Amino acid sequence: MAEAGFKITLIACKGRVSGPCEVQVVTLPEMGSRIRRMLVRSYLAYRSARNILADVYHFHDPELLPYGLLLKVRTGARVVYDSHECYPEDIRTKEWLPVWLRGAVSWAFKLLEDFVSRRLDLVVAATPHIEERFKGIARSTLTINNYPRLKEFDGAAGDLFGVRDGVCYVGSISIVRGFMPFLDSLDKVPQDVAAYVAGPFSGPEVERLARQHRNWSRVTYFGTVARDEVAKIYNRSFAGIVNFLPAPNHLFSQPNKLFEYMAAGIPVICSNFDLWRDIVDVGGCGICVDPASADEIAEAINRLLFDVGLREKMAFQGRTAITTKFSWEFEAEKLVDAYRALCEQA
């Protein structure tokens, strides 16, 4: 948006922006507990936003829904809700919520989300499936796919067939995202194949289970890293893992890591959901597996490890698909046009 000439302020935790265009950053304080992050930091974000007196406010954290409505009522500005997940479905798989409570929280959140989104100016959805949820509820909807920016991974993709000695798993580390079957699969993968892992643990119990796993010693764990470090991890990998388990919110998701792997010239090993098959099988850029099957994951890793010709072909086809269809550059034009329309209405 800044590159398109808009004056942008980012309100975020540890906000940091690099690039040719100036973006003002308002950094929010760290909070210890999840409750404090959801309640206290949300209010601080609202207070900072209101002080800016913007023409358009754009938020994506679901806990900011009440404050998005307050901004609309108290400032008269255009307000955009950016939904990255189908949250009523997602809540039903949250590991930090007791199982018996998830249904009630999901129902209550849907009521709140419906009430607020009806009164805002635009709902931006990260996938067509999420946009479908808001049609007939929100005043206006738009899908902006979370595809990668080509230039972020030019360095990794520039040497597609160099020394790549491992497989990578990048993103949130959780049970529902299939991390444990990935660790199990290493039993049947040669010992000299590295396992590169980056991202936050979804909770202390998941971290405990992962670190106590028999194959954790084979993992090179980078923690949560900056974008340039992510590209370096991709540059060391001959395959990327994204094996979400078949939770309702996953079947129609389009995880950005799937497309980042392709942009970096890495064959993908991913869940065999119909939507993902349409991307990966049709594009010839990876192998779809049962995400809960350690045997299928290991078989895919070994196939790519030993068949260099297949690996090179999939790497090339994945990169080609990104440059011709799945890049952020195409989506950015839609977002800029939407903002200009909103500003004309202001």
Quick one: CA dihedral 290, 235, 224, 130, positive or negative? Answer: negative
**Secondary structure element (H or E) that encloses residue 234, with its range:** helix 227-235
**pLDDT value of position 162:** 59
Terminal Cα-to-Cα distance of the chain (whole angstroms): 17
Task: Give the three-class secondary structure for 327.
Answer: coil
Relative to beta strand 9-13, strand 268-271 is unpaired
39 pLDDT band, cuts 50/70/90, is confident
28 pLDDT band, cuts 50/70/90, is very high
**Can you give the residue ranges of every domain in the chain?**
9-147+327-345, 150-324
**pLDDT value of position 161:** 53
pLDDT in tens, 83-120: 988 888 888 878 778 889 899 999 999 999 999 999 99
- Neighbour-count burial for 325-346, b at 16+ CB within 10 Å, e otherwise: ebbbeebbeebeebbeebeeee
**pLDDT value of position 234:** 94
Q: Does the pLDDT of residue 16 top 70, yes or no?
A: no
| CB contact set of 35 (below 8 Å; sequence gap of 6+) | none
Distance between CA atoms of 329 and 204, rounded to whole angstroms? Answer: 37
Distance between CA atoms of 295 and 96, rounded to whole angstroms? Answer: 29
* Token pair for 67: 């404050």
Cβ atoms of 54 and 10 closer than 8 Å: no
pLDDT in tens, 205-264: 999 999 999 999 999 999 999 888 999 999 999 999 999 999 887 888 899 999 999 999
Q: Does the pLDDT of residue 81 top 90, yes or no?
A: yes
Q: Has domain 150-324 been given CATH number 3.40.50.2000?
A: yes
pLDDT in tens, 263-291: 999 999 999 999 999 999 988 999 999 99
Mean pLDDT of the chain: 91
Cβ atoms of 266 and 301 closer than 8 Å: no
Q: Does the pLDDT of residue 62 top 80, yes or no?
A: yes
Report domain 9-147+327-345's class. Answer: alpha beta
**pLDDT value of position 157:** 57
Instruction: Report the percent of the chain where pLDDT is more than 70.
Output: 96
Q: Does the pTM of the predicted model rise above 0.85?
A: no
Distance between CA atoms of 145 and 328, rounded to whole angstroms? Answer: 8
